[in-house]
Structure 1
Amino acid sequence: MSHHAPINESIRIWVTARVPAETKSALAAFCRRNGYPHLYFEVLEPLLAQGNLIFSLATSERPWPPKGIGSQAIDAVAVAMVASEGRAHLTPVLMDRKHVTNVGLAGAVTKQLLEALRDRKASSAGYLIRQSERALERVLEQSGFARADLQSATEYAEYLEHSAPPQKILEALGLAKARIGDLLALNLNDRELDRLSSYHFALAVGIAPYLWDSIRNAAILPGLIDLIAAAPPGGVPPGTAGPSIGEPGAIRR
């Protein structure tokens, strides 16, 4: 039994591409509460209007009134942006501070997001990893990922996408047949727990500098690309690099 299991029993996990007002408010509060308010106001809020984001959410809800601003509190969230050719760019699961070791909750949020992408026929799901980040690359290799052809860059580093079909990731992480209740209670064998823990903690550490507004030191970039800005202007031959993408100083190649 996990320390977090009793708390997890009251948490609702759900996936949506249409974010209601009370959830937008909860997202803003979640980012502020955990020390990165810029993530909502500078990235998520502008991109929400484009309709390409899919959210996997773990939320706690007040008993009454059950609707309206303030009715939800977000415990964890993962985001996917579905771009061209059905490729989904992922942001690691972001956890509320009280859940930083809640691997079961992270696993449940991951499972729901990957299943949603699979059901939406996403061709792949991937992360942007700083070049030569061997430790992160190894964790992803063990989780079914392989290096893809998408590259991105900031003024400080080059980033390479590591991706795989959603179903392959689910199977590699042991999430394909796992029940949500077992994940939330962390009723896993040692091998499953080792793999899921390594995956979650490695990604959480890699994204942390970006969340701290220190892109210079980011080992992972969130998969939140400004698709409009990234699209090449009319008449540019295929394969030509487009303009800058959502992250400050980043370009897509």
Structure 2
Amino acid sequence: MRIANIDGLVDWVAAQPTWSDLPIIVLTHRGGGPDMNPGAVRLLKRLGNVSFLERPFHASTFASIAHTALNARRRQYEARHRIDELYKSQEQLATAMQAGRLGAWSYEVDTGILEASGLCKQIYGRRAEDAFSYDDLLKSIHPEDLPAMRLAAQHSVDTGNDYTIEYRTIWPDGALHWTQVNGRVLRGGSGEARSLVGVAMDVTERKSAETVLRQSNERLEQRVTQRTQELEQTHAKIVE
């Protein structure tokens, strides 16, 4: 097999994006395929996705090989479209989570491995680059709230239901914060709980506002009760 200088073609093939694998059809003389021709083997190594068609051949044979190559190329473009859509969705999700200050996490049930995004670590008082294991997570939860957290996660594993829980967290500097966690169980092919995934959000400001509002309502109720008692006493004296 005599091959012209194909360095340009080789460079172009090597520069293809990851989704692309251009199919190439090479017409050869009898015995020119990779089974008998070292040159064809070298060509196959340099170009990758090559089909060899030895002369003489029937027109329908060439049409069939070309049709197969075109279908393969079409599927590659379809794969590229799906990849582009996936990247777009991931970017939109990342933007939404960043805007909403939502930290993503996942927990492998069998291994006990916790994966947390940088923002999720920050919600627990860590830096984005810090290590953050499941033990670190448990230690950061207020001891009084830890049983409820464990119960909510286990109930989700047992029933498959999503869960939402709020609990207090203690940061490494000793500061007390409130965290809201939403979780969902993912199951394997045989139905076993494979992992828990979800998001975490710092709700300290909301909880503080709720506390202030509750205390204000309690003071108002106390004043109303006190004033009511005063009016009743005054009324009783008038009646006497």
**Pairwise TM-score range, normalised by the shorter structure:** under 0.3
TM-score by length of 2: 0.23
**RCO higher in structure (CA 8 A, sep ≥6):** 1
TM-score by length of 1: 0.22
